[in-house]
Structure 1
Amino acid sequence: MSAAHSPLHPSALVAVLIPAFNEQETVAAVVGVARQFAQEVVVASDGSSDGTAQAARQAGAVVVELPENGGKGAALRAALNATQAEFVLLLDADLTGLSAAHLQTLLDPVQAGTLDMSIGVFEGGGFVTDWGNKLTPHLSGQRACRRDWLLGVPGLGEERWPEPAITRHLKVTGARWAYVDLPNVAQVVKEKKRGFWRGAAARTRMYVSLLTYRVRRRKS
């Protein structure tokens, strides 16, 4: 069932979870779209030092504030603990071009029971983010699944970047998953948010963490 054939409606069974670290410029807009779609929107501010928590709260989200920056996995786990919704949608806090129809596209196959997880891939949102997202679509932060399935991912809250752990659990459990296009959605790149050199350094640290996941798992 596609978004074109299903009505947009708030659902108490669905929560939108948004891990966020220093995203005061964009988080309110993402929360605003999420609130058009779901009654429950949770932002986990991952030790942010700016106005992320305040901006999210003013936009209508329930905000969980982590005292220290523990990484996206810790923030995601905190957001999961703050809801009892049957289905969860995961969104990054720095998205642009997002609409409620995109969230419906992510949720439909999971809610219908045809997929255990849908993973959103940018399409037409901009060359840089399209290219990066399509090169590594398994690292996308835009997803829908059942809350209880996600809670079963081993070490979810311990990973600074939890996407490899989620991918591994998809394979181990034989879950049904697929990529879905999110037309005209993009992300604000780190270099733009933090300046070129700080952004490039943050991107490098992210990819080092992601690429060394298997090695760290073997040692644990």
Structure 2
Amino acid sequence: MSPETMTEVPRVAVVIPAYNEQETVGDVVRVALQLTPEVIVVSDGSGDRTAEEARAAGAQVIDQRENTGKGPALYAGLQAAQAPWIVLLDADLVGLTITHLDALVKPVLGGELDMAIGVFSDGRFMTDFGNRMTPHLSGQRAARRAWLLSVPRLAQERWPEPAITYALKNDRVKWGYVELPRLSQVMKEEKRGFWKGVKYRTRMYLDLLTFRRRRKRQDVAD
């Protein structure tokens, strides 16, 4: 194969798990493409135009028929990616810029951190507050693809952040928080209506809080 026909693998890929995020996913993809040509959206059984909007914006789309959760969707995106470094983004971000992405990847590419975790600041009060209260649940991250794929139970957990946090501590990985000013996201109560959003959020936190119990059961089974 001649050098002219060889395709260079990007250094960084962006993986975006998405479930019914047709209103925002296109904007997130367009900003991600300013960082790298390898942008992968995993539509996790979406019933709207999430896959179509992501594809129209220029992303590679994995369109899963069933809604299996963020963890399995994230794992599918990681398997499809080729770049050695990964940026993880939520699909419902509002106000995302290339400056935010540069801030996330700089410390990991420079060797200062093994994982950078983004936290909101100076955005919307409620999203800032929630992100500050539980920064370990942030969906905005940068890390090595190989390490992310090695996280135990990543592909089984509907919400993968506790599994990633456990692996960070267990593997003694060097990690830190990076401020993402004037960035926010659409709250679940806004997307699904107040009561449906509250119900969805409650289920999410119950699932997150029971991670340790599920992990212990799996350890015993193994």
TM above 0.5, yes or no, is yes
1:68-79 equivalences in 2 (<5 Å): 68-79=66-77
For structure 2, list consecutive stretches of 5 or more residues without a partner in the other structure: 1-8
Please state how far the C-alpha of 1:185 moved relative to its aligned partner.
0.3
Query: 1: distance between equivalents of 2:163 and 2:135?
Result: 14
Query: 1: distance between equivalents of 2:198 and 2:36?
Result: 34
Match of 2:25 in 1: 27
Match of 2:165 in 1: 167
Match of 1:14 in 2: 12
Please state how far the C-alpha of 1:179 moved relative to its aligned partner.
0.4
For structure 1, list consecutive stretches of 5 or more residues without a partner in the other structure: 1-10
1:102-121 equivalences in 2 (<5 Å): 102-121=100-119
The C-alpha deviation readout for 1:128-169, integer Å capped at 9, x for no partner, is: 000000000000000000000100101101000000000000
Please state how far the C-alpha of 1:90 moved relative to its aligned partner.
0.1
Query: 2: distance between equivalents of 1:125 and 1:18?
Result: 21
Query: 2: distance between equivalents of 1:86 and 1:50?
Result: 31
Q: Which amino acid aligns with 1:53?
A: A
Match of 1:215 in 2: 213
The C-alpha deviation readout for 1:102-145, integer Å capped at 9, x for no partner, is: 00100001001111000000001110000000000000000000
Q: Which amino acid aligns with 1:205?
A: R
Query: 1: distance between equivalents of 2:166 and 2:174?
Result: 13
User: Is the 2:86–2:143 Cα contact (8 Å) retained in structure 1?
Assistant: yes
- RMSD over aligned CA atoms reads 0.8
Query: 1: distance between equivalents of 2:43 and 2:32?
Result: 16
Please state how far the C-alpha of 1:39 moved relative to its aligned partner.
1.1
Equivalent position to 2:202, from 183, 201, 204: 204
Identity score, percent: 60
Runs of 4+ in 1 over 4 A off after TM superposition: none
Please state how far the C-alpha of 1:36 moved relative to its aligned partner.
1.0
User: Is the 2:44–2:69 Cα contact (8 Å) retained in structure 1?
Assistant: yes
Please state how far the C-alpha of 1:66 moved relative to its aligned partner.
1.1
The C-alpha deviation readout for 1:60-85, integer Å capped at 9, x for no partner, is: 00000111000000100010111111
1:181-196 equivalences in 2 (<5 Å): 181-196=179-194
Please state how far the C-alpha of 1:199 moved relative to its aligned partner.
0.6
Query: TM-score, normalized by length of structure 1?
Result: 0.94
Query: TM-score, normalized by length of structure 2?
Result: 0.93
Match of 1:128 in 2: 126
